[in-house]
């Protein structure tokens, strides 16, 4: 038998009190108490109503403060998408001497109240999650607008040339937050230059998704999964007309692409190591550290170290030195470049250090190695 809301609210209030020590009140949408208690002032009613509206708008508990400095928070009670009241905590003192502790208790209380409201089926978790996602997109868009104030993009091509490589690199590394920031900058820039041309905006968004998908596949996402998502979503994109809807579509596609990278575990680690080696070969003459090479391969630094140890039995530093020595040996055999040039191109920088390391790994000096190679 389905338990009525009033009984679930009573059980929630008892559980919340047990877990946090705070008392939670059940109020109507206009802020009036639904249980016995003193008549609330118009100011308190208005504060509760505003807190419930803000909590619904942002999809998370809304913290409020009264004139005396006490704080409270509210979570909307929902049946489907309809708000039928709220859960409100009030009059929590914020002692200045223990401000951090008090703030921590408030954060924990907010999280616990929302969790219990979802657990007792007293709010619409999906609706609130959608509101949180929408508010996050708006916040990120505002940040992107601020960041673009200092950029002088004359045309869409210029925007793409600057932002596309950075976006693809972030996707390959699995850095979701960085990818979101870049997509928002691109969206804001495109919107400025493609204003009142919705078809152009949609075609550019679709082009971005194709590029993101290619980067995802290169980083290990299942091609069939990525292409299937793209086919279904391209149909949905065709039906959109508002800039806000296209932006939301692109943001959703980025999340799906990043999920595809995260969820796939079958991509051969050997391929990622080959990519790392290729990057090292291309930049051997530069100062390289583990994290730089790992990012180029689309790996975290710790995972990269683990793979190197697993495949070679060496640390990254040992592996890097071995690769530099191998490069130097190849140059000594095949070219007549000076030892200084070879030292620099192999990434050793200092010739005396080059001589020491080379001899430790080969048993001979670079000069003697070259002479021996010429005799052979």
User: What are the pLDDT digits (tens) for 217-248?
Assistant: 766 666 776 666 666 677 777 777 777 787 77
Taking the model in full, what pTM does it have?
0.45
Q: Where in the chain is the domain with CATH 1.10.10.60?
A: 269-375
Q: Which of 243, 250, 251, 293 is nearest to 273 (CA)?
A: 293
- Please write the tens of the pLDDT for every residue from 238-280: 777 777 787 778 778 878 777 776 665 445 566 677 778 778 8
356, pLDDT greater than 80: yes
Sign for the CA dihedral angle at 267, 269, 274, 277 comes to positive
Helix crossing, 156-173 with 243-263: angle to 10°?
Answer: 30
d(CA 218, CA 267): 9
Tokens matching residue 18: 């047990």
Q: Rounded distance, CA 7 to CA 55, Å? A: 23
Q: How would you class 166 by CB atoms within 10 Å of its CB: exposed for 0-12, middle for 13-18, buried for 19 or more?
A: middle
The helix-helix angle for 243-263 and 223-238 (nearest 10°) equals 170
Domain spanning 269-375: CATH superfamily: Homeodomain-like (1.10.10.60)
CB atoms within 10 A of CB 135: 14
Please give the pLDDT value at position 288.
Answer: 84
CATH 3.30.450.40 residue window(s) in the chain:
5-123
CATH topology of domain 5-123: Beta-Lactamase (3.30.450)
């Amino acid at each position: 038998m389905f338990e009525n809301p009033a009984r679930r609210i009573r059980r929630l209030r008892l559980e919340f009190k047990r877990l946090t020590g705070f008392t939670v009140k059940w109020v109507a949408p206009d802020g009036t108490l639904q249980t016995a208690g003193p008549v609330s002032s118009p100011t308190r009613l208005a504060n509760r109503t505003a807190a419930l509206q803000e909590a619904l708008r942002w999809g998370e508990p809304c913290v409020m403060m009264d004139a005396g400095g006490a704080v409270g928070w509210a979570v909307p009670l929902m049946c489907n998408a309809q708000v039928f009241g709220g859960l409100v905590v009030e009059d929590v003192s914020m002692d200045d001497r223990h401000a951090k502790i008090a703030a921590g208790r408030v954060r924990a209380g907010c999280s616990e109240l929302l969790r219990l409201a979802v657990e007792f089926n007293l709010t619409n978790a999906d609706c609130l999650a959608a509101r949180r996602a929408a508010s996050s997109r708006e916040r990120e868009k505002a940040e992107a607008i601020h960041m673009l104030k200092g950029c002088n993009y004359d045309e869409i091509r210029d925007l793409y040339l600057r932002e596309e490589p950075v976006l693809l690199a972030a996707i390959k590394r699995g850095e979701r937050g960085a990818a979101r920031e870049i997509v928002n900058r691109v969206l804001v820039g495109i919107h400025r230059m493609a204003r009142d041309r919705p078809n152009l905006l949609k075609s550019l968004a679709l082009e971005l998704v194709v590029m993101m998908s290619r980067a995802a596949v290169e980083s290990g996402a299942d091609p069939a999964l990525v292409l299937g998502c793209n086919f279904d979503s391209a149909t949905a994109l065709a039906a959109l007309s508002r800039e806000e809807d296209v932006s939301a579509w692109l943001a959703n596609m980025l999340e799906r692409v990043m999920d595809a990278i995260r969820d796939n575990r079958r991509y051969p680690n050997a391929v990622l190591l080959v990519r790392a080696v290729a990057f090292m070969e291309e930049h051997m003459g530069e100062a390289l550290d583990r994290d730089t090479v790992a990012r180029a391969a689309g790996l975290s630094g710790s995972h990269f170290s683990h793979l190197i140890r697993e495949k070679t039995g060496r640390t990254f530093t040992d592996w890097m030195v071995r690769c530099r020595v191998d490069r130097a040996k190849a140059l000594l055999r095949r070219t007549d470049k000076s030892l200084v040039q070879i030292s620099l191109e192999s990434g050793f920088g200092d010739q005396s250090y080059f001589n020491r390391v080379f001899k430790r790994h080969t048993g001979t000096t670079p000069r003697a190695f070259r002479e021996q190679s010429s005799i052979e």
